Structure 1
Amino acid sequence: MSRTLYSLCGKDTARPFSPHCWKTVLSLGHKGLDFEERPLPFSAIPAAEGGFSKTVPILRDGDYLVNDSFQIALYLDEAYPERPSLFNGEGGKAMARMIESWSQTTLHPAIVRIAVVDIHDMLEQKDQVYFRESRTRALGKSLEEASAERDAEIAAFPQKLEPLRRTLSYQPFIGGDGPLFADYIVFGALQWARIVSGVDLFGADDPVREWFERCLDLYGARGRSVTPA
C-alpha cells in the first residue's frame, strides 16, 4: 500500500519544518511504515488532494485520507494494531492530550516569538505575503514587533522545559523506556525551532538536550535528515 505525507516547506523543499508534520514523520517511523513525503509551500496546501484540508499534515494511506497529527496517530494505531502502539492504551492518549496542550500553550507561543521572522524569510515571496498578513492578524502586531524580545525569549526558554526535565530524571522518554506519541509532540516543537532558527533552547548539561538527541536518532536518524538553520 502506498503512503504519502504532505508536509510544509519554504523555498527549499528539502527543509520541511512544521512541528505538526514532524510528529507524523516520527509516528510513521514508530509504526515502521514506509511513506513518501511531499513538502508543500503554504500556497499549495489548499489544492492538495482536491482541497481535502487547509492545513498539513495530510496522510494518504492507500485510498484513505486523514489530516491533523493527533488524528493521524489515532488512525495509525487503529489501522495497524499489530505494530508498536503510539499510545499504549487510553491512558497514553489522555497523557498525549495533556502534553499537546502544554506544548501548544507554553512552547509554541515562545517559539513563534523567537522564530517568526526566520520563518518568513524561508518562504517564497507569494507565501511571505500570506504569512505576514495572517500572522500579523493572529499576533495583533507586526512580525518584527513580535520578535523584538527574541533574545529574552531564548534565555527564558529552558525554564519552560522544567516539567519535561523532571520527567526525564525518572525515565529516558516521556513514554517511559521508549518513545510514544507524547514524545513526538514535544520533539516536533523543538525540531521546528532547530530547523528554522538553529537556536539552542536547552540549559547546560540538560537532560532535555540528551532526550532531544535521542529523538533525532530515532528511525534511521530521520530527524537529522534536515540540518539546523
Structure 2
Amino acid sequence: MQPTSSIAAPIILTLALVSSSLCLAGRPLAVDDANVNEVGAGHVEAWYARQPGGVNVWTVAPAYGLTEGMEIAASWARDASNQVNTTALQAKFRLTPSQKDGCNVGAAIGASRPNDGSGNTPYINGLLSCNMDAGSLHLNLGANRPPDGPTLNTWGLAFEREFGAMTAHVEYFGQEQASPTFQLGLRTELVKNVQIDGTVGHASGDALFSLGLKFQF
C-alpha cells in the first residue's frame, strides 16, 4: 500500500498550477483562486519544495487560456527523495464573472499520475474568490480518488494582500487521512513578467519551504 504522504504529494502539487489576471491567487499559494488566464495568455511556474518527511520535489507547471473562461494546465513533478515522477493535467473554468469588489466562482477537474505504476488519481475542486479593499480571500472544497483507495475530501482557505511591490499570503489546507498544512508566502516581480516567490510552513511536525519563479506570456 502506498504511504499517505506519497498519495498526498501529487494532489497538493496540482492545487497550485494556475494563476489569475484579476484575482491575486497563484504561485506561491497552494490554495487556488476562481479565475483563469485571458484567452491567448499563459504562464510557466517552476519551483522547489521541501515537503513533509523531508521529501524534496522539483516542479514545472505551464498554463494557458484556451477559450473564454477556460484554462488548461499541466505539471511535471520530480520527487528526488523517492525517485518518482508525477505528471498532471487539469482544466479550469471560471463560472461567474470576476469582480474587483465581490466574489466569483470557478471549478477545476484533472488527474495526476506517478510513474511508479500506481495509476491515476482524478480530482475535482470547487473554487470561490472574494476581493475586497483589505485583500483577497480564497476557498477550495474538493475531492480526489487515489488508485485502489477511497474518495478523499480536500479543502483550503487562503488570504492575501498587497504591500507595495510585495504580495503576502497566509493559507491553511489539507485532505482526509493527512495532516493539514499551515503556510505563509511572499511574492514580488523581479523584472517585467517574471515573478520570484517563496513560502514557509508546517505540517506533520515538519518545517516546510519552497522557492519558485513564474514567467508570464
Instruction: Tell me if TM exceeds 0.5.
Output: no
- Report the structure number with the largest CA radius of gyration: 1
TM-score (norm 2): 0.31
More strand by share: 2
TM-score (norm 1): 0.30
More helix by share: 1
